[in-house]
A and B are shown apart, each in its own frame.
Chain A
Amino acid sequence: MSDVAEAVTRAHREEWARVVAALTKRFGDLDVAEEAAAEAFATAVEHWPAEGVPPNPGAWLTTTAVRKAIDRIRRENKRDDKHKEAQAVYDDDPPEPLGAIDDDRLRLLFTCCHPALAMEARLALTLRMVGGLTVPEITRAFLVGESAMGQRITRAKAKIKAARIPYRVPSAADLPARVSGVLAVLFLVFNEGYLATGPDTDPVRHDLTAEAIRLTRLVRALLPDDGEVAGLLALMLLIEARRTARVSATGDLVPLDEQDRGAWDKALIAEGHRLVRERLATGQPPGRYQVLAAINAVHTSARDVRDTDWSQVVALYDQLVRLDPSPVVALNRAVAVAELDGPEVALATVDRLDAQLAGYHAYHVARADLLRRLGRSRESRAAYDRAIALAGNTAEITYLTRRRDQLAPWHRPRPPRERHPPRRPGRSGVR
């Protein structure tokens, strides 16, 4: 890539949200902001090769985008409200001084993740307006038709305008609830990348996991004191660190205990551990993401799976159950309990979750594994079949099929118990 092309790419990554946010604040309209920002970047692609990269690309892009927006408003407003035009175009109020935090991008993020929007719309809008992904890129990420995704974004923007969803950072009283909504969106993006669904996608979508991490870093820069933001970032880093070890050369999913720990990304693990320690040192009670990060920190601290401190893992799951008493968390806890108290105890817990989780593939994966370890091959096979039917990730299906086919026929004597049976604790668990 040429230096200029690289500078444009970098500016897009680093400045897109700032340009959109600044324009939204000035013109109060996401459509105007988005299109003007896109035009400004197109202009940069045209002009920078000949004129050179400006010393402050962000300021250049914002100024250019403001001009483009004014041109557009003038063109469109020829026929109607002259008054509004005058207001928008000649608003020369000096920009509000920035405080310790960069308010504009934060406002943009909270607007895109407003609870009055459907979850899919929040995801799409955040990736477009804050992440700068194009509609075709978002479409590829979520496997819906391009027109459907375009409509989803258009509809969300229209609702923001018509219902007057405010462009502001929520009040202190509303902040924790609203931040958790933003983090839920980012974690969904990450998970879609980490366990991509669909027969034609790569099993791991690094573009999505990287984008989720980048946006979470941005939120952390904007809200450095929020423990759950730090927790989610640590969680993502510690999962991402294992990415390359998680799929074999033949496209099989490699469970945690079979992964080559030497292939884990040491820098990401170190950063994740640092964040977890930092949160522990505050002495404040942790939220869900911080506990999940701590669980992952225990796993990534063990040089060998045999060194895993299972009692600490189970203790952390106990804490998680108190914060989030959902059946999925109970399932993940049971999988850890199997390591501490054996598969029989764990299976009793897992079986009690049947009514709630019968449609969830990870439930059948966990059961299949526990039954296999107990030598109940026939039941295990049936559970693997259910799991395979419900799983959406290609690498996981390959892996589960292999495990099922390795099962001893049910009438054979009970096979010796493996020392390190695989665990597949599902989306909020450890992979």
Chain B
Amino acid sequence: MQYLLSVVTDSTELATDEEMAAIDVFNSRLQTEGHWVFAGGLAGPDAATVVDNRGEQPVVTDGPFVETKEFLIGFWIIEAADLDVALALAVEGSRACNRKVEVRPFL
């Protein structure tokens, strides 16, 4: 079972050196314990572009797809037996990156 751990924030400030070090520790734990699938950090919403090609012409718009105070700034995709395992890892992840983490199962 795979879960998406989304890192949620309201600031585009990059992770501090301390946070990066903690994230590295968490990542290697995910790898050694077999939870690791993929992870990545994202540029802020200022760098987002939305493409909509559902109509006749593709429309390209500058900016994020929704206007919210909080946004996605990075994510992990993990392998976990059940939600309790995923939540326990998210608890560690949130501590490591010092931001909120949303847990959602893949279908």
- Chain A residues within CB distance 8 Å of chain B: 114, 116, 162-166, 170, 174
Max chain B Cβ within 10 angstroms of own Cβ: one of A162, A164, A165: A164
Q: Which residues of B contact A162 (CB under 8 A)?
A: 105, 107
Residue B14 is within 8 A (CB to CB) of chain A in the complex: no
Q: Which residues of B contact A116 (CB under 8 A)?
A: 83, 87
* Complex: chain A residue closest to B105, CB-CB: A163
- Find out whether the CB atom of B82 lies under 8 angstroms from the CB atom of A164: yes
Within 8 A of A (CB), among B51-107: 81-84, 87, 103-105, 107
* B residues contacting the other copy or chain, number (CB 8 A): 10
Residue B1 is within 8 A (CB to CB) of chain A in the complex: yes
CB distance from B90 to the nearest CB of A (A): 11
Q: Which residues of A contact B103 (CB under 8 A)?
A: 163
List the 7 closest A-B pairs by CB distance, nearest first. Answer: A166-B82, A164-B82, A163-B105, A163-B83, A165-B83, A164-B83, A166-B84
CA distance A170 to B85 in the complex (A): 11
* Complex: chain B residue closest to A160, CB-CB: B83
CB distance from B104 to the nearest CB of A (A): 8
Majority DSSP secondary structure for residues of A touching B? loop
Q: Which residues of A contact B87 (CB under 8 A)?
A: 116
CB distance from B16 to the nearest CB of A (A): 30
CA distance A162 to B103 in the complex (A): 12
Given contacts A163-B83, A165-B84, 14 further A-B contacts (CB under 8 A): A114-B83, A116-B83, A116-B87, A162-B105, A162-B107, A163-B104, A163-B105, A164-B81, A164-B82, A164-B83, A165-B82, A165-B83, A166-B83, A170-B84
CB distance from A125 to the nearest CB of B (A): 15
Contact of B105 among A114, A164, A166 (CB under 8 A): A164
* Complex: chain B residue closest to A114, CB-CB: B83
CB distance from A178 to the nearest CB of B (A): 10
Q: Return 16 A-B CB contacts under 8 Å, by A number.
A: A114-B83, A116-B83, A116-B87, A162-B105, A163-B83, A163-B103, A164-B82, A164-B83, A165-B82, A165-B83, A165-B84, A166-B82, A166-B83, A166-B84, A170-B84, A174-B84
Q: Which residues of A contact B104 (CB under 8 A)?
A: 163
CA distance A166 to B84 in the complex (A): 7
CB distance from A24 to the nearest CB of B (A): 15
Q: Which residues of B contact A165 (CB under 8 A)?
A: 82-84
Q: Which residues of B contact A170 (CB under 8 A)?
A: 84
CB distance from B81 to the nearest CB of A (A): 8
CA distance A174 to B81 in the complex (A): 17
CA distance A163 to B82 in the complex (A): 7
Q: Which residues of B contact A163 (CB under 8 A)?
A: 83, 103-105
* Complex: chain A residue closest to B107, CB-CB: A162
CB distance from A175 to the nearest CB of B (A): 12
* Complex: chain B residue closest to A167, CB-CB: B82
Q: Which residues of A contact B83 (CB under 8 A)?
A: 114, 116, 163-166
Max chain A Cβ within 10 angstroms of own Cβ: one of B82, B84, B104: B84
Q: Which residues of A contact B1 (CB under 8 A)?
A: 164
Q: Which residues of B contact A164 (CB under 8 A)?
A: 1, 81-83, 105
CB distance from B85 to the nearest CB of A (A): 8
* Complex: chain B residue closest to A165, CB-CB: B83
CB distance from A163 to the nearest CB of B (A): 5
CA distance A164 to B104 in the complex (A): 10
CA distance A114 to B107 in the complex (A): 21
CB distance from B89 to the nearest CB of A (A): 14
* Complex: chain A residue closest to B1, CB-CB: A164
CA distance A174 to B105 in the complex (A): 22
CA distance A114 to B84 in the complex (A): 9
Q: Which residues of A contact B82 (CB under 8 A)?
A: 164-166
CA distance A166 to B82 in the complex (A): 6
